[in-house]
């Protein structure tokens, strides 16, 4: 009997040790996976993505950056230069310099800032043009809220990275124009399109299908991120109130309280006018909303946002495919799912689920993030010519599309890389 008890005790110790060892190995594996993710996106950022943009898009003839590079890596030198592209280039290189301290990124960020202030900013009426010609002459002088939000975003990030006052004042000037001319003072939120002298016009710019589409989640989303970036470098009480207003608009008006998808388009009084779920925007909003709320120092608001962010991430799970990718959108009226993969939606999925894991501790969200990066790395990175492809078909074939253009910028994928780098480094320091 005594011998049996000795054997039993030894067996219990062995089982207990194995359990503890398994948990340790599991944590070690997770740490290794996260570190690998960080190393791979860091390498892609510094060895592929930014070098491609640096070598292909700098316009040494007319200044600034070229407006288009086609799918065959050919520069279209006479293409118009879009405001969205240039503002996003400014943000990307500013952020890259802030994080890496590589002065080559600072030189390109400064080039972007100087060109924007000289050619894109309207000296007479303020704000930024939608587009200019290759030679820097005003082309489309309309003042679009979406476009100008990115100028706030880029100029604020440059100031954050360098301490530059000129860029900060330029960002604040657009903010003041928004609050004076763009804010809907009756129903809240911000209108979409204005003439050069900031008179409202009813032109449709980003997917609106009728004049009833007066408020959009897309413009609201990027205005919120712009205000968050400006608040970092200008923590004025009024700026805080305006940022809080944007967070609460998402919580109360733009996020569907039943499904936790975004409502794409709404009328002036926030009634739904669209029947589409945009999965990339849903997951992007889940982390941008959390970022904005985190800056305000309100624990109750942050708790509410964290609960919402995780619910948004959970509702997007329906779009995740077995290969780790995310499909684009779903038409609720017909049930049709657009199955092409887009570079921007994939990278927002990587950040969004990493953020959901950080908030909740739920390991499945980390898996979604890791798996989506693996798909993105294998399908979107141009391993022959450098840079990224913008689209991939359901069968894995590369789709058509320019590699740089009005909407094809280094901001979504560059930001994903930098978000992961900063988040993993923060985890190391905790």
pLDDT reading at 94 higher than 90 = yes
Q: What is the pLDDT of residue 6?
A: 38
Residues sharing a CB contact under 8 Å with residue 166, sequence separation 6 or more, in sequence order: 113, 117
Is 2 a residue whose pLDDT tops 60? Answer: no
- Asked if residue 4 has pLDDT above 70, the reply is no
pLDDT of residue 69: 98
Cα–Cα dist 187/308, whole Å: 23
pLDDT of residue 34: 98
Question: What is the mean predicted confidence (pLDDT) over 372-379?
Answer: 98
Model confidence band, residue 429 (pLDDT cutoffs 50, 70, 90): confident
Predicted local confidence at residue 428, as pLDDT: 87
Q: What is the CATH number of the domain that holds 242?
A: 1.50.10.10
H-type alpha helices, 57-122: 83-100, 103-115
Task: Give mean pLDDT, residues 95-124.
Answer: 98
User: Residue 24: pLDDT band by 50, 70, 90 thresholds?
Assistant: low
Chain-centre distance for alpha carbon 344:
8
Q: How confident is the model over 258-277, as a mean pLDDT?
A: 96
Hunting for tokens 């994080």 — which residue is that? 99
Q: Is residue 20 part of a domain?
A: no
- The rounded mean pLDDT for the chain is 93
Looking at residue 207, what is its pLDDT? Answer: 77
pLDDT digit string, tens, across residues 339-358: 999 999 999 999 999 999 99
Q: Which helix (H) or strand (E) holds 131?
A: strand 131-132
Determine, yes or no, domain membership for 337.
Answer: yes
Please list, residue by residue across 126-153, b when 16 or more beta carbons sit within 10 angstroms of its beta carbon and e when fewer do.
bbbbbbbebebeebebbbbbbbbbbbbb
In a domain, 5, yes or no: no
* CA 104 to chain CA mean position, Å: 23
> For residue 21, is it within any domain?
no
Q: Return d(Cα 154, Cα 65) in angstroms, integer.
A: 15
Question: What is the reported pTM?
Answer: 0.93
Confidence of residue 26 (pLDDT cuts 50, 70, 90): low
pLDDT of residue 20: 43
What was the pLDDT predicted at 204? Answer: 75
Establish if 104 belongs to a structural domain: yes
Tell how strand 265-266 and strand 215-216 pair up: antiparallel
Q: Report pLDDT for 203.
A: 81
CA 133 vs CA 71, 81, 82, 84, 127: distances in Å: 21, 6, 9, 14, 17
Cα angle: 166, vertex 83, 170; to 5 degrees = 15
Tokens of 343: 């570079």
The residues, ordered by sequence, that sit 6+ positions from 82 with a Cβ below 8 Å of its Cβ are 67, 130, 131, 405, 406, 407
Give how many domains the chain has, as a whole number: 1
Whether 360 is covered by a domain: the verdict is yes
pLDDT at 11 (0 to 100)? 40
Instruction: Please state whether beta strands 276-278 and 329-331 pair in parallel, antiparallel, or not at all (unpaired).
Output: antiparallel
List the single range of 6-10, 75-79, 288-292 with lowest mean pLDDT.
6-10
Kindly report which listed range (14-23, 143-152, 249-258, 268-277) carries the lowest average pLDDT score.
14-23
Average pLDDT score over residue span 215-225: 97
Q: Can you give 9-54 as a three-state secondary structure string?
A: HHHHHHHHHHHHHHHHHHHHHHHHHHHHHHHHHHHHHHHHHHHHHH
Residue among 119, 12, 96 nearest 47 (CA): 96
User: Can you give the pLDDT at residue 208?
Assistant: 75
- Of 306, 151, 173, 305, residue with least CA distance to 226: 151
**What is the spatial distance between Cα 376 and Cα 370, in angstroms, rounded to a whole number?**
10
For residue 10, being part of any structural domain is answered with no
Residue ranges making up the domain that contains 115:
41-429
Mean pLDDT of 311-323: 98
Residues present in the chain in total = 430
Question: What's the pLDDT score for residue 84?
Answer: 98
What's residue 202's pLDDT?
83
pLDDT band at 414 (very low <50, low <70, confident <90, very high): very high
pLDDT at 28 (0 to 100): 74
- Phi and psi dihedrals of 329, rounded to 5? -160, 170
Round the CA-based radius of gyration of the chain to a whole number and report it.
Answer: 23
Residue 134 belongs to some domain of the structure: yes
């Amino acid at each position: 009997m005594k011998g049996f008890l000795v054997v039993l005790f030894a067996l219990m110790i062995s089982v207990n040790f194995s359990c503890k060892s398994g948990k340790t190995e599991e944590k070690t594996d997770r740490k290794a996976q996260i570190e690998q993710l960080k190393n791979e996106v860091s390498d892609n950022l510094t060895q592929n993505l930014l070098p491609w943009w640096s070598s292909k898009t700098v316009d040494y003839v007319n200044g600034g950056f070229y407006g288009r590079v086609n799918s065959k890596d050919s520069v279209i030198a006479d293409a118009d230069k879009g405001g969205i592209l240039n503002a996003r280039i400014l943000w990307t290189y500013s952020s890259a310099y802030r994080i890496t301290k590589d002065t080559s990124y600072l030189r390109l960020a400064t080039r972007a800032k100087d060109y924007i202030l000289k050619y894109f900013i309207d000296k007479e009426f303020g704000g930024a043009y939608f587009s200019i010609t290759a030679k820097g002459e005003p082309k489309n002088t309309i003042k679009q809220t979406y476009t100008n939000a990115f100028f706030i975003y880029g100029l604020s990030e440059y100031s954050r990275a360098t301490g530059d006052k000129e860029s900060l004042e330029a960002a604040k000037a657009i903010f003041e124009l928004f609050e004076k001319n763009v804010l809907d003072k009756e129903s809240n939120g911000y209108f979409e399109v204005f003439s050069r002298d900031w008179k409202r016009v009813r032109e449709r710019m980003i997917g609106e299908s009728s004049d009833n589409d007066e408020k959009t989640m897309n413009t609201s989303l990027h205005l919120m991120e712009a205000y968050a970036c400006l608040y970092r470098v200008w923590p004025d009480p009024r700026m805080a109130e305006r940022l809080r207003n944007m967070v609460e608009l998402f919580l109360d008006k733009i996020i569907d309280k039943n499904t936790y998808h975004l409502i794409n388009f709404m009328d002036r009084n926030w009634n739904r006018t669209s029947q589409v779920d945009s999965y990339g925007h849903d997951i992007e909003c889940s982390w941008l909303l959390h970022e904005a709320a985190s800056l305000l120092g309100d624990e109750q608001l942050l708790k509410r946002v964290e609960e919402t962010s995780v619910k948004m991430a959970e509702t997007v799970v329906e779009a995740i495919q077995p290969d780790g990718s995310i499909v684009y959108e779903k038409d609720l009226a017909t049930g049709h799912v657009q199955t092409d993969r887009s570079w921007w939606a994939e990278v927002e999925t990587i950040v969004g689920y990493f953020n959901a894991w950080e908030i909740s501790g739920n390991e499945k969200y980390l898996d979604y993030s890791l798996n989506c990066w693996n798909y993105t790395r294998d399908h979107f990175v141009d391993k022959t010519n450098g840079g990224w492809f913008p689209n991939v078909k359901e069968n894995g074939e590369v789709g058509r599309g320019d590699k740089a253009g009005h909407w094809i910028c280094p901001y979504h994928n560059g930001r994903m890389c930098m978000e992961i780098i900063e988040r993993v480094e923060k985890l190391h320091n905790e």
